[in-house]
Structure 1
Amino acid sequence: MTASHQVTRVWYNSAFSSIATVLRLIREADTEGRFHTIYTHAHAHSSAAGAAHAFHVEPTGLAAADYVDWCLAFCREHHVDVFVPSKHAAALSTARGRFLEHGVRVLSAAAPDKLELIDDKAAFYATVKLPLAPPPEFRIFSDIGQFDAAHAELRARHETLCVKPARSVYGLGFSVLDEERSSAALLLAGSSYRIGLADLRRGLAELERFRTMLLMEYLGGHEYSVDCVGADGHLVSAVARKKLPQPGHGQLIDMRADIIASCEQLAADFGLSGMFNVQFREGRDGLRLLEINARASGGIGMACLAGPNLPYLALRAFVDGYEGLALAPVRDGLRVGELGTAVELP
Structure 2
Amino acid sequence: MTERHVDVVVIGGGQAGLAASFHLRRQGLDFVVLDAQSTPGGAWQHTWDSLHLFSPAAFSSLPGRPMPVQVGEIYPDARHVVEYVTEYEQRYAMPIVRPVRVRGVHRDGAFLRVESDGGVWRARAVISATGTWWRPFLPAVAGRTAFAGRQLHTVEYRSPADFAGQRVVVVGGGNSGAQIAADLAYDTELTWVTQRPPRFLPDDIDGRALFDAATARRRALDAGRTDTGGVASLGDIVAVPPVREARDAGLLKASPMFTRIERDGVVWADGTHTAADAIIWCTGFRPALSHLAPLQLRGTRGHIATVGTRAADEPRLHLLGYGDWTGPASATLIGVGRPAREAAREVAALVR
TM-score range, shorter chain: 0.3 to 0.5
- The structure, 1 or 2, with the larger RCO (C-alpha pairs under 8 Å, 6+ apart) is 2
Q: What is the TM-score normalised by the length of structure 1? A: 0.35
Q: What is the TM-score normalised by the length of structure 2? A: 0.35
